[in-house]
Amino acid sequence: MFFWKTAKETVPERPIRISSVEWRDGQQSLLATRIRTQDMLPILPKMDEVGYECMEMWGGATFDVAIRYLGDDPWERVREFKKLCKKTPLRMLLRGQNLIGYKQYPDDVVEKFVELAAKAGIDKFLVFDGLNDVRNTETAIKAVLKNGKTAEANICYTISPVHTLEKYVQMAKDYAALGVKVIHVEDMAGMMNPKQVSDVIRAIRKEVGLPVHFHAHCIGGMADICYWEAIKAGACTVDCDVSALSLGPAHPPVESIVTCLKGTGFDPHLDMDLLAEINDYFMKLREKYKEFASKRTGVDISVLKHQIPGGMLSNLESQLKGMNAENRINEVFEEVHKVHKDFGYPPLATPFAQMVGAQATINVLTGQRYKMISNESKTYIRGMYGRPAGEIAPELKAAVLGNDKMITERPGSLIAPGWEKAKAEAAGFARTEEDVMTYALFPELAPAFLQKKYQ
């Protein structure tokens, strides 16, 4: 047993683990998720030698972008990774009942998706719900455990009048009761300060006892310090990118974190020369995909107000640019803050970051607040995404609900089974169960994608 010392204490060595998130959240935050599978594979053997806790390479926006823009088969991506990553577990981010889409899917589709993802090669399923409504993760977590894979739960940290430390601890307890092995605390916008990080991780470790992982984005300028505080508070794993795909809307660089931890009891003992070789490869990818690069690469302390997550910033920029309204992004940020409150402070994770962002954009570009309300916003206000964290503005509820009441049941329980229906509808162009699932998730995109795939 080795020890490191401070003036006040002697602490047993506790090496920190690092999760690689370049292929999922790193590129989602900085390159609009545009890296193609063929450009990922050459460096994987070296990444597999690093000793990462896992490699998060699927889920989030990766599936959608692969079939919408890249012509890549997302299922084949998992299999190719699995062939090359013989030592490192593969992790995906799973949006609970939303899976990798933007709406609630039937329970049988959720169960089948997890089964197919597990067969393809996903080892760890990091499950969350955009509203932190644990009910919306139950079906997915049970399916993960049924398929013999590791279920981990993700808490989307939000700063608002209705989000308290006690609520986060209770959420962690609810997840533990479902059988998850790890609790992740995610600061998806880079808005947490070091004390908030320390408080929530210490509380979860004390009250729940499960291992805690921490994940933050750098846009607010505090993530590196927060990682140190998270580690001291008991976090055993942190999410990083190699430096070429780090900082700004992305995450702290693994090289800096490893260097900072040397000489402490937390040293992860990673090979810096190997990391340098890997980083050289990512530098080339940054250059190749520079047309998709986010311009918000520095610190933007306005995130403390608008709370837009790193993964959404580059996409919002791209969308406004496409509408010749890129110069109005600061107006949209200001409106996001107002819409967030009106919507009852949903965590700005997918799909609610996109929902709030889209509604704020509509409000700004039309010049009238809520003259137009998106269908997704209406569905949320009706309760079909789950239980809001706070109260939705009365005028919004009146405009959408009229005299009706919000749904209070678990939304997934109200959706008719969909797997057999999808099989029947996709019979003319789907050749495998994975093809059928692609159709079940994205029926508007799948026919053209699959027809091209089998040309």
| pLDDT for the residue numbered 316 | 78
Least Cα distance to 245 among 385, 8, 40 occurs for 40
- Beta strand pairing status for 10-12 and 3-5? antiparallel
pLDDT in tens, the chain (455 residues): 444 444 454 556 899 999 999 999 999 999 999 999 999 999 999 999 999 999 999 999 999 999 999 999 999 999 999 999 999 999 999 999 999 998 999 999 999 999 999 999 999 999 999 999 999 999 999 999 999 999 999 999 999 999 999 999 999 999 999 999 999 999 998 999 999 999 999 999 999 999 999 999 999 999 999 999 999 999 999 999 999 999 999 999 999 999 999 999 999 999 999 999 999 999 999 999 999 998 877 888 888 887 877 656 666 777 788 888 889 988 998 999 999 999 999 998 888 888 998 899 999 999 999 999 989 999 999 999 999 999 999 999 999 999 899 999 999 999 999 999 999 999 999 999 999 999 999 999 999 999 999 98
β partners of residue 182? 152
List the domains of the chain with CATH numbers: 14-292 (3.20.20.70), 303-412 (1.10.472.90), 418-453 (no CATH)
Using one digit for the tens of pLDDT, what is the confidence trace for 379-435? 999 999 999 999 999 999 999 999 899 999 999 999 999 999 999 999 999 999 999
- Looking at the DSSP bridge assignments, the partners of residue 445 are none
What pTM was estimated for this model as a whole? 0.92
Collect contacts of 176-180 with beta carbons under 8 A, ≥24 apart.
176/208, 176/209, 176/210, 178/134, 178/137, 178/138, 178/141, 178/142, 178/151, 178/153, 179/141, 179/145, 179/151, 180/127, 180/141, 180/151, 180/152, 180/153, 180/210
Residue 220 and residue 230: Cα distance in Å, rounded? Answer: 16
The per-residue pLDDT for 400 is 95
Distance CA 63, CA 94 (A): 11
Tokens of 444: 């508007």
Give yes or no for a contact between 261 and 240, defined as CB atoms under 8 angstroms apart: no
Q: Please report which helix (H) or strand (E) contains residue 11, including its range.
A: strand 10-12
Which alpha helices (DSSP H) does 121-164 contain, by range?
138-146
Token representation of residue 210: 């499960």
- How many residues are given for the chain? 455
CA atoms within 13 A on the CB side of 418: 21
Q: What angle do CA 151, 153, 155 make, to 5 degrees?
A: 170
Residues contacting 85, CB < 8 A, separation 6+: 44, 47, 48, 55
